[in-house]
Chains A and B, each alone.
Chain A
Amino acid sequence: MSNEIKIGDYVVIQKQNYKKLHKFNKADSSISLGRDTVNLKGIDGCPYFSVFKMIPKSSKRNRDYTVELAQEAVKLKDEIDIKVSGSDNRNILDDGNSQKLSASDIETLKSDSNKASDIVGTLINNSNTFHNKTEFSQDKYLRKKEKKYFEYFQVIKPNLRVISEIMYKLDPGKIQNLRIDTLSQIITMVNIHSEGNHLLYDSGSNGLVAAALLSVIGKDTNGKLLHMHPGNMSQKQALLAMNFPEEQLNRCVSVNVYSALRQFYQGCDTNNGVDKDIQTSENDENPLKRKADETDEHQSKKMKQEEDEELVESLDKTDGDKPRGNKKPKWHFDNIAASEILQNKMDSLVIACKEDPQNIFNELVSFVKPGRPFVIYYSAVEPLQQLYLTLRPRANVAALKLTCNWMRNYQVLPERTHPEVTMNGASGYLLSGYVLK
């Protein structure tokens, strides 16, 4: 991937700590950042990491912006010079009278001023108490206001870390509460690397687990990822957002789990006659799939129409090669490819599912070579506890371990270092082990 923003790329728009994934599919596509609508015309061809300033289109009131390449993001702290500070808050009274400007004054100020520092500067000058606040308290005030009035954003390249963070923040339920630390451990626990054939069953992480594994398999390597899913179409959002080169993306074979296993055991998909049967039987599976994913689909429709449209659009593109020479759909070839990979046995197994993991594990573990690791992710502990007890007496697995993770972020500032006041508590559980002969 080059260092310049190109039309067609997935890009990440970062405004302060807020990050948003965006498919930059038109030179003048728009993106909503909070209540603001920003037209991205002009970012095409700029290097990644460039800083852009948001310029109000007409008046600030309708919150429509265009962008302009900026030298740097100006910090409020650098623009506003604070001369005096208090030593503590003993003389500060919260009587509602400290701000001399009225609410309507402030509204006018907000829509008339072009610079955040003008607004905040005026607010400060009209405050009776600001200069009695401690230096730390003033700093906190400025940081808070900066968040509100920040006029700059950066365009950065998506990668696994950023995508995982965005998806978790936006709606952890859609990726089964799979937090970045747990995701990072899935990758290491099953020893995913540039080599080998890796098997993934994923029924609901929006492609995040597949993206994680494929990114670590890497470009221009031999590793393959067999990505099984229960639906007609795999969830690919995160996978596409990684902007993987064609060569790498092609080493991720996404197949419907029913079709792939039917092909493996019954091998029916080699002549044309049987081909039709498969297609109809796959259509039969639709109702089943609908039921399972119904809630999820509803959610996604509500939450991110924009992204869904993008998703559909890009899926269309990837399936554009559907009718090949002999008019067989891509999935036909994918099933055969999957079956061939399975014949050679797999070097790892990852399951991240919504269903009861037990049957899925029992079926898929038979494809894993002896001595190779597996890991099962589930958002609640009970199904994994049950599975643990079922597997423990078995001779075909060893080193069973059920783990959970705890992660805490810190505010690190001179004299003000402490853990952040909120933690992301939900992270799910991992059951890992090794397959034996």
Chain B
Amino acid sequence: MSFRNYKDKIEEGDTVILYLSNNLYALDVQREIKNKKGEMIENVYQTPFGALKVKTLIGADYGTKIELTKGWGHVLQPTPELWSLTLPHRTQIIYTPDISMILLQLDLVPGCVVVEAGTGSGSLTHALIRRVRPHGHVYTFDFHEHRAKIAQEEFKDHGLADFVTAKHRDVLAEGFDKDLNGKADAVFLDLPSPWLGVPHALAAIKEEGGRFCSFSPCIEQVQRTCLALQEHGFQEITTMEVLQSEIKVSRRTVPVRDLSFLKQKSSISPVEEKPSSETSYVVGALPQSNPGHTGYLTVATLPPVYVRGKSKKDDDNISSENGEKMVVDENV
């Protein structure tokens, strides 16, 4: 239950993040686990630095140092960011640089209702929940029945069930739940054919408008999605790519080679033709292998109904005065 609130001490049932010299592991704090024969035995977690008796963690402070036979590490409380790095992959997942941008581009703040398809491994879902709680809600759908079920159980285990509804549903074929019509502040699509989801997004977003975001690895998906968005009256359609690189910092001592003495005939001969001294720099180098592409983020605004779609299908018979007043009254 360590996903729900800030905690100071580790309790049984928590998921903790084990940080061992730049490697992260997610670990469930249970005194005992079942072995292959189905018997309950003491829970011992094998790390590269030696075995960890899990029960020793109970009662310890988060951020505390733990001693292992061949080294030491630290235990951290999971955040959506740490979880993205340690979660069991059931699909490809979206990582923090894209997640951060998605959250900001969707204008999400506590209290928002956000709809996501598909759930995948729940990497983004955890971040969505964190952003909209305590008053908001995340509705997430996956067309893979088993995956949807695992996600549902995971949210329950993580103590997040109050803030999220995870369902098995083929959104492209069936649309979102009818109950969700006009309920969402934002819709996020990570689907193979996001353009087919655009009409469903239109139906789900509130009358006062909202935001849309689609994550697609391929530019052809983006092109079709942008066309669909335009046709359905979305504004401010923008496509972007965000990449993060880690800079490796080190202190580097480099030789200094002096060439200026060559201008004159040297009295002292022969001068050695090799570096004469050393100097030291703090250098930041980009890693040799760097993420080059994750996916394109296509975002758009759906304006409120009173300005929606006028540019597309013009209904001259609707009086704007009355129409607007009525809509506004409903929203106040």
Contacts and interface: CB of A to CB of B under 8 A. Distances in A.
A185 B19 contact: no
A72 B310 contact: yes
Contact of A185 (B79, B96, B135): B96
Contact of B282 (A220, A386, A414): A386
Nearest to B298: A412
B171 interface: no
Nearest to B296: A410
Contacts of B164: none
Contacts of A116: none
| Chain A interface main SS type | mixed
A73 B236 CA distance: 14
A194 B244 contact: no
The interface centre, meaning the residue of A73, A164, A188, A437 with most chain B CB atoms within 10 A of its CB, is A188
Contacts of B6: 195-196, 347, 369
A347 B130 CA distance: 15
A193 B97 contact: no
Interface stretch (B105-113, B140-148, B152-160): B105-113
Contacts of A180: 101, 104
B134 interface: yes
Contact of A412 (B226, B306, B328): B226
B320 A217 contact: no
Given A3-B208, A193-B131, A194-B134, A370 B107 contact: no
A47 B222 CA distance: 32
Contacts of A195: 5-6
A181 B107 contact: no
Interface string B1-37: 0000110100000000001001010000000000000
Nearest to B245: A404
Interface in A172-214: 180-181, 183-185, 187-189, 191, 193-196
Nearest to B227: A414
A75 interface: yes
A218 interface: yes
Given A191-B81, A218-B109, A404 B101 contact: no
Contacts of A399: 19, 22, 24, 76
B311 A405 contact: no
A160 B97 contact: no
A72 B223 CA distance: 25
Interface string A148-183: 000000100001110010000000000000001101
A408 B237 contact: no
A406 interface: yes
B68 interface: no
A11 B296 CA distance: 30
Given A373-B79, A410-B222, A160 B107 contact: yes
Contacts of A161: 104-105, 107
B332 interface: yes
B211 to A, nearest CB: 9
A185 B243 CA distance: 11
B65 interface: yes
A353 interface: no
B64 interface: yes
B-side interface mostly: mixed
B327 interface: yes
Interface stretch (A48-56, A97-105, A122-130, A328-336): A48-56
A188 B296 CA distance: 20
Interface stretch (B38-46, B246-254, B270-278): B246-254
A221 interface: yes
A253 interface: no
A194 B136 CA distance: 11
Contacts of A189: 81, 96, 100
A409 interface: yes
A176 B222 CA distance: 32
Contact of B79 (A191, A370, A398, A436): A191
Given A73-B311, A385-B282, A405-B242, A184 B133 contact: no
Interface bracket on B:
35 or more
A219 B81 contact: no
A436 B65 contact: yes
Interface residues of A, number: 72
Interface string A401-417: 11111111110101001
Contacts of A217: 110
A408 B240 contact: yes
Nearest to A19: B236
Interface string A214-256: 0111111100000000000000000000000000000000000
A310 interface: no
B80 A191 contact: yes
A60 interface: no
Contacts of A187: 100, 103-104
A4 interface: yes
B96 A188 contact: yes
A429 interface: yes
B331 interface: yes
A164 B304 CA distance: 22
A50 B307 contact: yes
A48 B210 CA distance: 13
A431 to B, nearest CB: 9
B246 A181 contact: no
Given A389-B282, A412-B237, A414-B223, A4 B99 contact: no
Given A188-B80, A436-B74, A4 B328 contact: yes
Contacts of B99: 188
B110 A218 contact: yes
A34 B234 CA distance: 26
Interface in B190-218: 208-209
Contacts of B310: 71-72
Given A47-B324, A188-B80, 19 more contacts: A48-B304, A50-B306, A69-B320, A189-B96, A191-B80, A193-B130, A218-B135, A220-B110, A371-B64, A382-B282, A399-B24, A403-B245, A407-B243, A410-B240, A410-B241, A412-B226, A414-B227, A437-B63, A437-B64
Interface of A: 2-4, 47-51, 69, 71-73, 75, 78, 154, 159-161, 164, 180-181, 183-185, 187-189, 191, 193-196, 215-221, 347, 369-373, 381-382, 385-386, 388-389, 395, 398-399, 401-410, 412, 414, 417, 429, 434-437
12 contacts: A47-B304, A73-B311, A181-B97, A181-B242, A184-B100, A188-B81, A218-B111, A371-B75, A385-B282, A398-B74, A403-B247, A404-B247
